[in-house]
């Protein structure tokens, strides 16, 4: 199966210095993949030359004259930068020239452009951002992580379906378990939207586990955790902040005196093994779900290794038909919409 991925080569903190070598590595590793590098031709060509690479039947350059910056307002990026590398990469998905696109650019702009260009899948009202978080026994997929600040129960149901189908596709689990993030496990807990969402999920035919709490994310209680974008974003960023604080405090304690420095030296391999297990680079690549096309958002600060992972995520979603799965599952829910 040939899979073509359009890469927003200019996006992210490091632009082509990261996106181009990551794309080259994927081409080397996965013979099914073709890449379209989208952006300023001279910049991309210079980066290819630096890696002694050149365009080929599997690697082509698609010009785009503008770049969306991290500070651009999403609406402005959408309206006024019609030849941005981000917009053109998404256009290639729309036209069918690419099966997916990857960008490390401005999340809000990528969401706005993707939604405008690709439109929503039938039966899905809102797109959601799904990401993978490490757990004690593996990983879990959480959505929404910030695309929607006010969600209805129906939106949360749709997120559940999209998340389950994503896991079915990329983790090859046929009946992934779905948890609804709440502030207690009992059915009576939570606000009205969440209570109603639990009813809808229970009736959906998904493998609905019930309510989960914040700590269940890292316990890995369910394969998918569903929440509104406000809650998901806060939980994710609080986790990032806590992890950073723990790392910083440990560093301080290991640097306290000669003895602790020696202990730190001894503990280095252990710490490295630990870091590898929770390395966020291994989880890079958030899926923008609910669109009529596959769009993966890389972290803006991603390095080459992390960006490769974002490309691989896009490839897996194409290979395992995540869009078809979502569409089919939604049509089971709304037969009339599926037929439309």
Is residue 58 part of the contact set for a second copy (CB under 8 A)?
no
- Which strand (E) or helix (H) includes residue 223? none
Q: Work out which of 233, 298, 313, 329 binds a second copy, going by CB under 8 A.
A: 233
Q: Work out which of 50, 248, 328, 332 binds a second copy, going by CB under 8 A.
A: 248
Q: Work out which of 46, 55, 203, 249 binds a second copy, going by CB under 8 A.
A: 249
Is residue 235 part of the contact set for a second copy (CB under 8 A)?
yes
Nearer to a second copy among residue 55 and residue 183 (C-beta): 183
Q: How far is the CB of 152 from a second copy (least distance, A)?
A: 13
Beta bridge partners, 120, equal: 291
Q: How far is the CB of 181 from a second copy (least distance, A)?
A: 6
Nearer to a second copy among residue 94 and residue 189 (C-beta): 189
Instruction: Give the tokens for residue 181.
Output: 């993030």
Nearer to a second copy among residue 183 and residue 332 (C-beta): 183
Alpha carbon distance 9, 221 (integer Å): 37
Q: What is the total count of residues that contact a second copy (CB under 8 A)?
A: 58
Residues 54/66, Cβ–Cβ less than 8 Å: no
Residues 68/84, Cβ–Cβ less than 8 Å: yes
Residues in contact with a second copy, shown as a per-residue x/- string from 272 to 311 under the rule CB under 8 A: -xx--xx---------------------------------
* Helix residue ranges per DSSP H, the chain: 16-29, 41-50, 74-80, 85-95, 107-118, 153-170, 192-202, 214-219, 229-254, 258-278, 304-319, 322-333, 335-339
Q: How far is the CB of 245 from a second copy (least distance, A)?
A: 4
Alpha carbon distance 75, 106 (integer Å): 12
Q: Work out which of 50, 183, 203, 332 binds a second copy, going by CB under 8 A.
A: 183
Is residue 144 part of the contact set for a second copy (CB under 8 A)?
no
Residues 250/86, Cβ–Cβ less than 8 Å: no
Alpha carbon distance 8, 27 (integer Å): 16
Helix 107-118, helix 85-95: angle, nearest 10: 30
Where does this chain bind a second copy (CB under 8 A)? 134-136, 146, 149-150, 181, 183, 189-192, 194, 213-219, 227, 229-231, 233-246, 248-250, 253-254, 256, 259-260, 262-264, 266-267, 269-271, 273-274, 277-278
């Amino acid at each position: 199966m040939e899979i073509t991925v359009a890469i927003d080569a200019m996006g992210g903190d490091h632009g082509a210095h990261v996106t181009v070598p990551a794309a080259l590595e994927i081409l080397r590793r996965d013979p099914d993949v073709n890449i379209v590098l989208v952006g300023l031709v001279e910049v991309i060509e210079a980066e290819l030359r630096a890696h002694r690479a050149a365009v080929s039947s599997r690697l082509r350059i698609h010009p785009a004259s503008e770049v969306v910056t991290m500070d651009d307002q999403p609406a402005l990026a959408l309206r006024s930068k019609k030849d941005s590398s981000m917009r053109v990469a998404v256009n290639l998905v729309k036209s069918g020239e690419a099966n997916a696109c990857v960008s490390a650019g401005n999340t809000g702009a990528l969401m706005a452009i993707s939604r405008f260009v690709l439109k929503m899948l039938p039966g899905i009202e809102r797109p959601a951002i799904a990401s993978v978080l490490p757990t004690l026994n593996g990983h879990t997929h959480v959505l929404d992580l910030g695309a929607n600040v006010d969600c209805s129960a129906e939106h949360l149901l749709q997120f559940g379906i999209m998340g389950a189908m994503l896991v079915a596709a990329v983790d090859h689990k046929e009946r992934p378990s779905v948890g609804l993030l709440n502030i207690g496990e009992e059915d009576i807990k939570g606000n009205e939207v969440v209570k109603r969402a639990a009813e809808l999920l229970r009736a959906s035919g998904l493998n609905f586990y019930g309510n989960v709490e914040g700590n269940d994310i890292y316990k890995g209680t369910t394969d998918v955790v569903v929440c509104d974008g406000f809650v998901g974003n806060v939980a994710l960023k609080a986790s990032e902040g806590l992890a950073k604080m723990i790392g910083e405090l440990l560093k301080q304690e290991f640097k306290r005196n000669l003895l602790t420095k020696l202990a730190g030296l001894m503990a280095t391999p252990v710490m490295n093994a630990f870091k590898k297990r929770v390395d966020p680079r291994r989880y890079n690549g958030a899926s923008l779900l609910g669109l009529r096309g596959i769009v993966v958002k890389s972290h803006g600060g991603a390095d080459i290794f992390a960006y490769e992972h974002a490309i691989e995520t896009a490839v897996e979603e194409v290979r395992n038909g995540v869009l078809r799965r979502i569409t089919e599952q939604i049509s089971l829910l709304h037969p009339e919409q599926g037929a439309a």
